[in-house]
Structure 1
Amino acid sequence: MALLKAITANRLRDGEVVFLKAEGVWVERLDEAALFEDAAAADAALAAAKAQAERDQYGVDVYAFDLTLKDGRPDPVKARERIRALGPTVRTDLGKQAAA
């Protein structure tokens, strides 16, 4: 299974986890995020996203993370990213997973 990359950050105004959809467009749902198969493309998108987030004072802690596709949907490799994408693990009736 090939690893993909997505880019995430925390929105400054409210701390919400956001994901890069396209150049300069941030969304709250991982399902809408741009997925990168090519490491060079992911690195270039990450550099641009960091610069734009800082310039616009939009987000902090911008970074790329690994994921795979599971049943055609993005599935983060690490637990930290699953929690950031879905919300709390002890109350699945709360957070983004409740809306899914």
Structure 2
Amino acid sequence: MSRAKVFTPKVVTANLLVEGDVVYLSATDAWVTSLGDAEVLTDEAIAEARLIDGAEQTETVVGVYLADVSDGPDGPEPVHFREAFRATGPTNYPHGKAHEVA
């Protein structure tokens, strides 16, 4: 007898088509740059539907997929290293898009 796999909360993420910035789909269907503003999906069927919603926005984003998150003290937090790296933003300091590290 096998146990059903527990669904891990997810967010829909992608990259902006023109700028390349990492973005997340919010509950209002807007693409936001802060993981804290992303819609956290706790139901597998809804997550799949939201993934389709995001993937249909081909004039705005590319590479749309679901990323695992956990509930942190300040909102969703990445579960995997790749997503933690993406959430910190690019490291191209001359372009002003990188987050400063204290």
Same fold (TM over 0.5): yes
Q: Which amino acid aligns with 1:17?
A: V
Report the RMSD for the aligned CA atoms in angstroms. Answer: 2.3
| SS at structure 2 position matched to 1:22 | coil
State the number of aligned residues.
91
List alignment gaps of at least 5 residues for structure 1. Answer: none
4+ runs deviating over 6 angstroms: none
> What TM-score do you get using the length of structure 2 for normalisation?
0.78
Give the whole-Å Cα distance in 1 for the aligned partners of 2:90 and 2:53: 30
List alignment gaps of at least 5 residues for structure 2. Answer: 1-6, 92-96
Q: Aligned to 1:95, which of 70, 93, 98?
A: 98
Structure in which a larger fraction of residues adopt helix: 1
Q: Which amino acid aligns with 2:98?
A: G
Identity %: 37
Question: Would you say 1:33 and 2:38 are equivalent positions?
Answer: yes
Give the whole-Å Cα distance in 2 for the aligned partners of 1:23 and 1:50: 15
